[in-house]
Protein backbone atom coordinates (compact mmCIF):
# COMPACT_ATOMS: atom_id res chain seq x y z
CA UNK A 1 0.00 0.00 0.00
CA UNK A 2 2.83 2.38 0.87
CA UNK A 3 4.45 1.70 -2.54
CA UNK A 4 1.19 2.54 -4.28
CA UNK A 5 0.88 5.79 -2.34
CA UNK A 6 4.42 6.79 -3.27
CA UNK A 7 3.76 5.98 -6.91
CA UNK A 8 0.57 8.01 -6.92
CA UNK A 9 2.38 10.93 -5.30
CA UNK A 10 5.14 10.79 -7.93
CA UNK A 11 2.62 10.64 -10.75
CA UNK A 12 0.75 13.56 -9.23
CA UNK A 13 3.93 15.62 -9.08
CA UNK A 14 4.76 14.80 -12.71
CA UNK A 15 1.22 15.73 -13.76
CA UNK A 16 1.41 19.01 -11.81
CA UNK A 17 4.75 19.90 -13.42
CA UNK A 18 3.42 19.05 -16.88
CA UNK A 19 0.27 21.07 -16.30
CA UNK A 20 2.35 24.06 -15.15
CA UNK A 21 4.60 23.78 -18.21
CA UNK A 22 1.59 23.63 -20.52
CA UNK A 23 0.04 26.64 -18.81
CA UNK A 24 3.25 28.66 -19.13
CA UNK A 25 3.55 27.66 -22.80
CA UNK A 26 -0.02 28.72 -23.50
CA UNK A 27 0.53 32.05 -21.78
CA UNK A 28 3.67 32.67 -23.79
CA UNK A 29 1.91 31.78 -27.04
CA UNK A 30 -0.92 34.18 -26.24
CA UNK A 31 1.58 36.94 -25.46
CA UNK A 32 3.43 36.32 -28.72
CA UNK A 33 0.18 36.43 -30.67
CA UNK A 34 -0.56 39.89 -29.30
CA UNK A 35 2.99 41.21 -29.49
CA UNK A 36 3.67 40.12 -33.09
CA UNK A 37 0.09 40.24 -34.40
CA UNK A 38 0.08 36.59 -35.42
CA UNK A 39 -3.24 34.68 -35.19
CA UNK A 40 -3.40 32.74 -31.93
CA UNK A 41 -4.84 29.72 -33.72
CA UNK A 42 -1.81 29.56 -36.05
CA UNK A 43 0.62 29.54 -33.13
CA UNK A 44 -1.38 26.97 -31.17
CA UNK A 45 -1.61 24.61 -34.14
CA UNK A 46 2.11 24.97 -34.80
CA UNK A 47 2.95 24.18 -31.18
CA UNK A 48 0.77 21.07 -31.36
CA UNK A 49 2.52 20.00 -34.56
CA UNK A 50 6.05 20.57 -33.21
CA UNK A 51 8.06 17.87 -31.46
CA UNK A 52 10.51 18.27 -28.60
CA UNK A 53 14.02 17.26 -29.70
CA UNK A 54 16.53 16.41 -26.97
CA UNK A 55 19.29 16.51 -29.60
CA UNK A 56 18.67 20.25 -29.98
CA UNK A 57 19.23 20.82 -26.26
CA UNK A 58 22.36 18.67 -26.39
CA UNK A 59 23.73 20.65 -29.34
CA UNK A 60 23.16 24.11 -27.90
CA UNK A 61 24.87 23.17 -24.64
CA UNK A 62 28.09 22.20 -26.42
CA UNK A 63 28.56 24.76 -29.23
CA UNK A 64 31.64 24.75 -31.46
CA UNK A 65 32.55 28.16 -30.06
CA UNK A 66 33.39 26.48 -26.74
CA UNK A 67 36.56 25.11 -28.35
CA UNK A 68 39.88 26.96 -27.97
CA UNK A 69 40.75 29.20 -30.90
CA UNK A 70 43.45 26.98 -32.40
CA UNK A 71 40.99 24.07 -32.68
CA UNK A 72 38.01 26.19 -33.75
CA UNK A 73 40.05 27.90 -36.49
CA UNK A 74 41.06 24.58 -38.01
CA UNK A 75 37.42 23.67 -38.56
CA UNK A 76 37.04 26.45 -41.14
CA UNK A 77 40.43 27.50 -42.50
CA UNK A 78 41.11 24.50 -44.70
CA UNK A 79 42.37 24.11 -48.25
CA UNK A 80 39.17 22.27 -49.19
CA UNK A 81 36.91 25.09 -47.98
CA UNK A 82 39.14 27.66 -49.67
CA UNK A 83 38.88 25.79 -52.98
CA UNK A 84 35.10 25.59 -52.58
CA UNK A 85 34.98 29.32 -51.83
CA UNK A 86 36.94 30.23 -54.92
CA UNK A 87 34.69 28.01 -57.04
CA UNK A 88 31.58 29.65 -55.55
CA UNK A 89 33.08 33.11 -56.16
CA UNK A 90 33.85 32.26 -59.76
CA UNK A 91 30.41 30.79 -60.39
CA UNK A 92 28.60 33.80 -58.91
CA UNK A 93 31.15 36.51 -59.63
CA UNK A 94 28.75 38.91 -61.34
CA UNK A 95 26.22 38.61 -58.49
CA UNK A 96 28.89 39.03 -55.81
CA UNK A 97 30.34 42.10 -57.52
CA UNK A 98 26.85 43.58 -57.81
CA UNK A 99 26.23 42.95 -54.10
CA UNK A 100 29.55 44.54 -53.16
CA UNK A 101 28.77 47.63 -55.22
CA UNK A 102 25.15 47.98 -54.09
CA UNK A 103 25.59 47.27 -50.38
CA UNK A 104 29.22 48.40 -49.97
CA UNK A 105 30.29 45.15 -48.32
CA UNK A 106 33.51 43.43 -49.51
CA UNK A 107 33.07 40.42 -51.78
CA UNK A 108 35.40 38.31 -49.66
CA UNK A 109 33.29 38.87 -46.53
CA UNK A 110 30.13 37.77 -48.34
CA UNK A 111 31.83 34.66 -49.70
CA UNK A 112 33.45 33.88 -46.34
CA UNK A 113 30.17 34.05 -44.43
CA UNK A 114 28.43 31.57 -46.73
CA UNK A 115 31.49 29.32 -46.59
CA UNK A 116 31.70 29.32 -42.79
CA UNK A 117 27.95 28.96 -42.35
CA UNK A 118 27.10 26.14 -44.75
CA UNK A 119 30.17 25.24 -46.81
CA UNK A 120 28.44 26.88 -49.79
CA UNK A 121 25.17 25.09 -49.27
CA UNK A 122 26.54 21.64 -48.53
CA UNK A 123 25.56 21.71 -44.85
CA UNK A 124 22.36 23.68 -44.34
CA UNK A 125 21.24 21.67 -41.33
CA UNK A 126 19.23 18.56 -40.61
CA UNK A 127 16.90 19.67 -37.82
CA UNK A 128 13.26 20.50 -38.64
CA UNK A 129 13.20 24.24 -37.95
CA UNK A 130 9.81 24.08 -36.28
CA UNK A 131 11.06 21.44 -33.83
CA UNK A 132 14.33 23.26 -33.09
CA UNK A 133 12.64 26.57 -32.33
CA UNK A 134 9.83 24.95 -30.36
CA UNK A 135 12.31 22.98 -28.26
CA UNK A 136 14.46 26.01 -27.47
CA UNK A 137 11.54 28.38 -27.14
CA UNK A 138 9.54 26.36 -24.65
CA UNK A 139 12.00 23.87 -23.11
CA UNK A 140 15.21 25.88 -22.73
CA UNK A 141 14.50 28.56 -20.11
CA UNK A 142 17.94 30.15 -20.44
CA UNK A 143 16.97 31.60 -23.85
CA UNK A 144 13.29 30.80 -24.02
CA UNK A 145 12.15 34.38 -24.57
CA UNK A 146 14.37 34.76 -27.62
CA UNK A 147 13.65 31.42 -29.26
CA UNK A 148 9.89 31.42 -28.60
CA UNK A 149 9.76 34.72 -30.50
CA UNK A 150 11.76 33.13 -33.33
CA UNK A 151 9.26 30.25 -33.27
CA UNK A 152 6.47 32.77 -33.82
CA UNK A 153 8.40 34.54 -36.56
CA UNK A 154 8.90 31.19 -38.27
CA UNK A 155 5.13 30.67 -38.38
CA UNK A 156 4.73 34.08 -40.00
CA UNK A 157 7.58 33.40 -42.44
CA UNK A 158 6.22 29.99 -43.42
CA UNK A 159 2.85 31.53 -44.19
CA UNK A 160 4.49 34.29 -46.26
CA UNK A 161 6.62 31.81 -48.20
CA UNK A 162 3.97 29.11 -48.56
CA UNK A 163 6.07 26.51 -46.74
CA UNK A 164 4.66 23.50 -44.97
CA UNK A 165 5.76 24.01 -41.37
CA UNK A 166 7.60 20.71 -41.15
CA UNK A 167 9.38 20.85 -44.52
CA UNK A 168 12.23 23.27 -43.75
CA UNK A 169 15.45 21.92 -42.22
CA UNK A 170 18.12 24.02 -40.55
CA UNK A 171 20.57 24.24 -37.67
CA UNK A 172 19.86 23.27 -34.08
CA UNK A 173 19.19 26.98 -33.46
CA UNK A 174 16.61 27.21 -36.25
CA UNK A 175 18.84 28.99 -38.78
CA UNK A 176 18.09 28.33 -42.45
CA UNK A 177 19.50 28.42 -45.94
CA UNK A 178 22.88 29.26 -47.47
CA UNK A 179 23.49 32.07 -44.97
CA UNK A 180 21.78 30.46 -41.97
CA UNK A 181 19.32 33.24 -41.21
CA UNK A 182 17.02 32.84 -38.22
CA UNK A 183 13.38 33.64 -39.03
CA UNK A 184 13.39 37.26 -37.81
CA UNK A 185 16.54 38.00 -39.82
CA UNK A 186 15.04 36.28 -42.87
CA UNK A 187 12.04 38.58 -42.62
CA UNK A 188 13.96 41.79 -41.88
CA UNK A 189 17.09 41.41 -44.02
CA UNK A 190 16.23 38.97 -46.79
CA UNK A 191 16.23 40.46 -50.29
CA UNK A 192 14.96 39.28 -53.65
CA UNK A 193 18.29 39.79 -55.37
CA UNK A 194 17.36 38.11 -58.64
CA UNK A 195 14.02 39.95 -58.88
CA UNK A 196 11.90 36.85 -59.37
CA UNK A 197 9.25 38.01 -56.91
CA UNK A 198 10.30 35.99 -53.87
CA UNK A 199 13.08 35.82 -51.29
CA UNK A 200 14.52 32.31 -51.39
CA UNK A 201 17.61 31.87 -49.26
CA UNK A 202 16.98 28.17 -48.84
CA UNK A 203 17.82 27.15 -52.40
CA UNK A 204 18.78 30.32 -54.30
CA UNK A 205 22.41 31.43 -53.83
CA UNK A 206 21.70 34.74 -55.59
CA UNK A 207 19.17 35.77 -52.94
CA UNK A 208 21.53 34.47 -50.25
CA UNK A 209 24.41 36.61 -51.54
CA UNK A 210 22.27 39.73 -51.63
CA UNK A 211 20.76 39.03 -48.22
CA UNK A 212 24.12 38.48 -46.51
CA UNK A 213 25.39 41.75 -48.00
CA UNK A 214 22.22 43.55 -46.92
CA UNK A 215 22.58 42.21 -43.38
CA UNK A 216 26.09 43.66 -43.09
CA UNK A 217 25.05 46.93 -44.67
CA UNK A 218 22.16 47.33 -42.24
CA UNK A 219 24.58 46.68 -39.37
CA UNK A 220 26.80 49.53 -40.64
CA UNK A 221 29.75 47.82 -42.24
CA UNK A 222 32.36 50.48 -43.10
CA UNK A 223 33.76 49.74 -46.54
CA UNK A 224 37.51 50.18 -46.75
CA UNK A 225 37.98 50.20 -42.98
CA UNK A 226 40.05 47.56 -41.14
CA UNK A 227 38.66 44.63 -39.18
CA UNK A 228 41.47 43.64 -36.79
CA UNK A 229 45.19 44.24 -36.26
CA UNK A 230 47.76 41.90 -34.77
CA UNK A 231 49.01 43.14 -31.40
CA UNK A 232 51.74 42.38 -28.91
CA UNK A 233 51.01 42.07 -25.23
CA UNK A 234 51.52 39.89 -22.19
CA UNK A 235 48.98 38.54 -19.74
CA UNK A 236 49.62 41.23 -17.13
CA UNK A 237 49.22 44.08 -19.62
CA UNK A 238 46.20 42.54 -21.30
CA UNK A 239 44.12 41.40 -18.34
CA UNK A 240 42.59 44.79 -17.36
CA UNK A 241 41.44 45.38 -20.95
CA UNK A 242 39.85 42.01 -21.69
CA UNK A 243 36.07 41.81 -21.55
CA UNK A 244 33.34 39.43 -22.67
CA UNK A 245 31.38 42.42 -23.95
CA UNK A 246 31.55 42.68 -27.72
CA UNK A 247 31.28 46.44 -28.02
CA UNK A 248 34.37 48.40 -29.10
CA UNK A 249 34.73 50.39 -25.90
CA UNK A 250 38.36 51.51 -25.63
CA UNK A 251 40.71 53.77 -27.58
CA UNK A 252 44.11 53.02 -28.96
CA UNK A 253 45.58 55.69 -26.68
CA UNK A 254 44.36 53.79 -23.61
CA UNK A 255 45.80 50.49 -24.76
CA UNK A 256 49.08 51.89 -26.02
CA UNK A 257 49.63 53.65 -22.70
CA UNK A 258 49.12 50.26 -21.03
CA UNK A 259 52.07 48.90 -23.00
CA UNK A 260 50.20 47.08 -25.76
CA UNK A 261 51.86 47.37 -29.17
CA UNK A 262 50.92 47.01 -32.82
CA UNK A 263 52.55 47.68 -36.17
CA UNK A 264 49.32 49.20 -37.48
CA UNK A 265 49.10 52.97 -37.83
CA UNK A 266 46.32 54.03 -35.46
CA UNK A 267 45.39 57.46 -34.19
CA UNK A 268 45.03 57.89 -30.45
CA UNK A 269 41.24 58.17 -30.63
CA UNK A 270 40.72 55.06 -32.81
CA UNK A 271 38.09 52.87 -31.09
CA UNK A 272 39.50 49.38 -30.48
CA UNK A 273 38.86 46.31 -28.39
CA UNK A 274 41.60 43.96 -27.18
CA UNK A 275 41.12 40.28 -28.00
CA UNK A 276 43.00 37.32 -26.53
CA UNK A 277 42.90 34.03 -28.45
CA UNK A 278 44.10 30.70 -27.14
CA UNK A 279 46.76 29.22 -29.41
CA UNK A 280 48.31 25.76 -29.21
CA UNK A 281 51.22 27.40 -27.39
CA UNK A 282 50.46 30.61 -25.55
CA UNK A 283 47.95 33.27 -26.57
CA UNK A 284 47.74 35.74 -29.43
CA UNK A 285 46.45 39.29 -29.12
CA UNK A 286 44.46 41.39 -31.57
CA UNK A 287 42.95 44.84 -31.78
CA UNK A 288 39.38 44.74 -33.11
CA UNK A 289 37.76 47.71 -34.82
CA UNK A 290 34.14 48.48 -35.68
CA UNK A 291 33.90 46.04 -38.61
CA UNK A 292 34.88 43.16 -36.32
CA UNK A 293 31.94 44.12 -34.11
CA UNK A 294 29.68 44.06 -37.19
CA UNK A 295 30.67 40.45 -37.88
CA UNK A 296 29.63 39.56 -34.31
CA UNK A 297 26.14 40.85 -35.13
CA UNK A 298 25.87 37.78 -37.36
CA UNK A 299 27.14 35.42 -34.64
CA UNK A 300 27.94 36.68 -31.15
CA UNK A 301 31.28 34.91 -30.89
CA UNK A 302 34.70 36.55 -31.26
CA UNK A 303 36.02 33.17 -32.45
CA UNK A 304 33.42 33.12 -35.21
CA UNK A 305 34.22 36.69 -36.23
CA UNK A 306 37.94 35.97 -36.34
CA UNK A 307 37.40 32.80 -38.40
CA UNK A 308 35.27 34.74 -40.89
CA UNK A 309 37.87 37.50 -41.13
CA UNK A 310 40.86 35.20 -41.57
CA UNK A 311 39.00 33.05 -44.09
CA UNK A 312 37.95 36.18 -45.99
CA UNK A 313 41.60 37.23 -46.21
CA UNK A 314 42.56 33.81 -47.57
CA UNK A 315 39.80 34.16 -50.16
CA UNK A 316 40.78 37.70 -51.12
CA UNK A 317 44.43 36.83 -51.66
CA UNK A 318 43.66 33.62 -53.56
CA UNK A 319 41.10 35.38 -55.77
CA UNK A 320 43.59 38.16 -56.53
CA UNK A 321 46.19 35.56 -57.48
CA UNK A 322 43.67 33.82 -59.73
CA UNK A 323 42.80 37.08 -61.47
CA UNK A 324 46.48 37.94 -61.88
CA UNK A 325 47.07 34.66 -63.67
Which residues are catalytic, by number?
117
Q: Where are the beta strands (DSSP E) in 58-125?
A: none
In whole angstroms, how far apart are CA 212 and each of 96, 191, 192? 10, 9, 12
Give the span between the Cα atoms of 235 and 278, in whole angstroms: 12
Give the span between the Cα atoms of 204 and 192, in whole angstroms: 10
Give the span between the Cα atoms of 178 and 11, in whole angstroms: 46
What interhelical angle do 129-139 and 2-36 show, nearest 10? 110
The H or E element containing residue 41 is helix 40-49
Q: Are 228 and 288 in contact (CB under 8 A)?
A: yes
Which candidate, 150, 114, 105, places its Cα nearest to that of 131? 150
Give the span between the Cα atoms of 182 and 197, in whole angstroms: 21
Three-class SS of 249-310: CEEHHHHHHCCCECCCCCCCCCEEEEEEEECCCCEEEEEECHHHHHHHHHCCCHHHHHHHHH
Q: What are the φ/ψ torsions at residue 250 (nearest 5 degrees)? A: -130, 175
- Cα distance from N-terminal residue to C-terminal residue, the chain: 86
Any idea what the Cα angle at residue 81 is, between residues 77 and 87, rounded to 5°? 140
Number of other residues whose CB lies within 10 A of the CB of residue 131: 21
Amino acid sequence: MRLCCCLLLALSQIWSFSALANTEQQQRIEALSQELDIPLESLEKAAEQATYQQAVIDAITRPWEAKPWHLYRDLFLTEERLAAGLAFWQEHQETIERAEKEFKVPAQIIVAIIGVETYYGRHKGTYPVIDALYTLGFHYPKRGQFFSKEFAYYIRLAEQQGWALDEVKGSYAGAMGFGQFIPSSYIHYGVDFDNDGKVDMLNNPVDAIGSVANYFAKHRWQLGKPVVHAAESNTTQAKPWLSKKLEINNTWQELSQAGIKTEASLTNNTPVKLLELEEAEGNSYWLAEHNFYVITRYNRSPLYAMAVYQFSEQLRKAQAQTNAN
